[in-house]
């Protein structure tokens, strides 16, 4: 369907990401239509796509050659059939890295992503241009739900450097700015806030920790932004409230990963809709059994990657799927909540665990909660790092330590360390718990 808006999208989307090519505008228009499909139609689409993918993987990707899930099954739903398939773990991919790709070899126009660098040896993932274009189109559909369009004035504060000159030119042509605020001192942050006042963006995008780190300076400088878009890290309720207070902004989160991309976006009603056309999300319990309405491990099947297929990939996140509906009218599956990463917990010698979600919930009213980090060194040693002044912190730190002792036993040694800056990953993420 021709509309002026679709025309603008077909101009601005390739400008945002030339590697996605000109087809991205058409893919976007298709997704605008399919978001209003009813549940049945979406399931039919997923069913057809996952069957094709698995058939292809069995015949062309050595790792999957013995998998034969659909043979002899006619009366099961695709979710039931998929559940008979093994779970793909990061270790499996690392151990079989040469057998995860299609035997047809890497095509000429292939985009190679590496991922998993923060949790071990990186994994190489091949993406076709068409697949990346679809991810782009889905990303911008998700943003359109909260009023962000490819030409909307926006600032990205993720730390990926300033890029090449033509990259910067492209960024400016699409009304975007990139600010690298990673590791800035407070004086530098005030400069960045001044820059934000000058640019006056409609939205700001970045990791939760960077957005928070810049927030005090923005608050002090009177920066007001309509919407803050966060990704890459858990956005706990207290983070959301704090970002809202600091920027006077509505806050949205989107969920993606390098391996697959564009997985879920918050709509205008704040529900996280999964990009059903591109990915099947399952949530399984500790025995690997799919479940709804309860927290469990998230498994992802990328319906569009035939070069490095990901089928039931355990991404390392915990979430809840729900069958409830959203007032927006879209019947795309809902991710009720994300509850953190499976490895983000501290543990004692008897195996008792405390997750990052526990700390975020238990201490949500603390001033200090944005400024602490728990680093587990061994089964009975934790460093409690914090940024900020010790007078304010003392009682809150004591409270955290006594809770750790209550839950994990008095043998757990907790050393308080005041630091200039918490530990960030190479990509600028800051996790509440680091388990060494």
Q: In the range 269-328, which residues lie near Zn ion by CB under 5 A?
A: 269, 271, 326, 328
Q: Cβ closer to Zn ion: 327 or 410?
A: 327
Contact 354, 410 (CB under 8 A): no
CA dist 293 → 36, 287, 333 (Å) = 23, 16, 12
Q: In the range 74-93, which residues lie near Zn ion by CB under 5 A?
A: none
- State the nearest-atom distance from the C-beta of 170 to Zn ion, in Å: 31
Q: Cβ closer to Zn ion: 267 or 318?
A: 267
- State the nearest-atom distance from the C-beta of 278 to Zn ion, in Å: 17
- State the nearest-atom distance from the C-beta of 326 to Zn ion, in Å: 3
| Total number of residues that touch Zn ion (CB under 5 A) | 5
* Run of H or E residues at 220: helix 208-221
Contact 138, 9 (CB under 8 A): no
Contact 88, 108 (CB under 8 A): no
Q: Cβ closer to Zn ion: 210 or 277?
A: 277
Q: Cβ closer to Zn ion: 271 or 376?
A: 271
**Whole-angstrom Cα Rg for the chain:** 22
- State the nearest-atom distance from the C-beta of 264 to Zn ion, in Å: 11
Residue 99: name the closest of 108, 110, 88, 109 by CA. 88
- State the nearest-atom distance from the C-beta of 200 to Zn ion, in Å: 29
- State the nearest-atom distance from the C-beta of 341 to Zn ion, in Å: 25
Q: Cβ closer to Zn ion: 110 or 326?
A: 326
Q: Quick one: CA torsion of 390, 391, 395, 398, rounded to 10 degrees?
A: 30
- State the nearest-atom distance from the C-beta of 273 to Zn ion, in Å: 6
Residue 113 engages Zn ion in binding (rule: CB under 5 A): no
CA distance 140 to 20: 13
Q: Which two tokens stand for residue 133?
A: 């274009």
Q: Cβ closer to Zn ion: 199 or 328?
A: 328
Q: Cβ closer to Zn ion: 111 or 326?
A: 326
Q: Is 359 helix (H, G, I), strand (E, B) or coil?
A: helix
Backbone torsions φ then ψ of 113, nearest 5 degrees: -115, 140
Q: Cβ closer to Zn ion: 42 or 223?
A: 42
The residue assigned the tokens 């920066």 is 223
- State the nearest-atom distance from the C-beta of 240 to Zn ion, in Å: 17
Q: Cβ closer to Zn ion: 328 or 347?
A: 328
CA distance 295 to 337: 8
Across 387-406, b (16+ Cβ under 10 Å) vs e yields beeeeebeebbeebbeebee
- State the nearest-atom distance from the C-beta of 328 to Zn ion, in Å: 3
The CB density around residue 203, as the number of other CB atoms within 10 Å, is 22
Residues near 358 by beta carbon (within 8 Å), at least 6 away in sequence:
none
Q: Cβ closer to Zn ion: 278 or 297?
A: 278
Residue 176 DSSP one-character state = E
Residue selected from 83, 134, 267, 374 as contacting Zn ion according to rule CB under 5 A: 267
- State the nearest-atom distance from the C-beta of 332 to Zn ion, in Å: 8
| Burial class of 169 by CB neighbour count within 10 A (0 to 12, 13 to 18, 19+) | exposed
Q: In the range 317-376, which residues lie near Zn ion by CB under 5 A?
A: 326, 328
CA distance 14 to 377: 47
Question: Could you list the residues that contact Zn ion (CB under 5 A)?
Answer: 267, 269, 271, 326, 328
């Amino acid at each position: 369907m021709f509309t002026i808006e679709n025309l603008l999208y077909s101009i601005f989307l390739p400008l945002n990401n030339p590697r996605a090519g000109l087809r991205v505008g058409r893919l976007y228009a298709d997704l605008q239509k399919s978001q209003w499909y009813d549940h049945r139609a979406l399931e039919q689409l997923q069913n057809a796509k996952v069957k094709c993918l698995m058939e292809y993987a069995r015949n062309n990707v050595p790792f999957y050659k013995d998998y034969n899930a659909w043979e002899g099954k006619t009366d099961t739903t695709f979710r039931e059939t998929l559940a008979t398939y093994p779970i793909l773990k990061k270790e499996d991919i690392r151990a079989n890295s040469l057998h995860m790709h299609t035997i047809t070899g890497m095509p000429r126009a292939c985009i190679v992503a590496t991922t998993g660098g923060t949790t071990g040896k990186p994994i190489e993932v091949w993406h076709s241009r068409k697949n990346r274009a679809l991810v782009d189109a889905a990303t911008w559909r998700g943003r359109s739900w909260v009023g962000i369009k490819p030409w909307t004035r926006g600032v990205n504060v993720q730390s990926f450097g300033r890029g090449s000159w033509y990259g910067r030119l492209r960024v400016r042509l699409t009304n975007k700015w990139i600010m690298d605020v990673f590791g800035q001192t407070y004086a530098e942050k005030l400069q960045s806030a001044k820059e934000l006042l000058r640019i006056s963006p409609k939205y700001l995008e970045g990791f939760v920790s960077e957005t928070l780190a810049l927030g005090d300076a923005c608050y002090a400088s009177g920066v007001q932004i309509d919407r803050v878009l966060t990704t890459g890290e858990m956005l706990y309720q207290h983070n959301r409230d704090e970002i809202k207070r600091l920027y006077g902004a509505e806050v949205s989160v989107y969920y993606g990963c390098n391996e697959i991309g564009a997985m879920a976006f918050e709509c205008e009603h704040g529900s996280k809709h999964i990009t059903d056309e591109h990915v099947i999300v399952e949530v399984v319990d500790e025995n690997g059994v799919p479940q709804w309405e309860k927290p469990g491990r998230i498994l992802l099947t990328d319906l569009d990657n035939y070069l490095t297929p990901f089928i039931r990939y355990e991404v390392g996140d915990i979430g809840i799927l729900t069958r409830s509906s959203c007032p927006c009218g879209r019947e795309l599956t809902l991710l009720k909540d994300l509850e953190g990463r499976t490895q983000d917990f501290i543990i004692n010698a008897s195996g008792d665990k405390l997750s990052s979600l526990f700390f975020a919930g238990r201490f949500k009213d603390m001033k200090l909660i944005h400024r602490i980090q728990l680093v587990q060194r061994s089964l009975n040693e934790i460093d409690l790092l914090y940024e900020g002044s010790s007078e304010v912190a003392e009682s809150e730190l004591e409270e955290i330590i006594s809770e750790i002792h209550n839950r994990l036993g008095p043998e757990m040694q907790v050393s308080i360390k005041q630091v200039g800056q918490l530990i960030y990953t190479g990509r600028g993420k800051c996790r509440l718990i680091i388990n060494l």
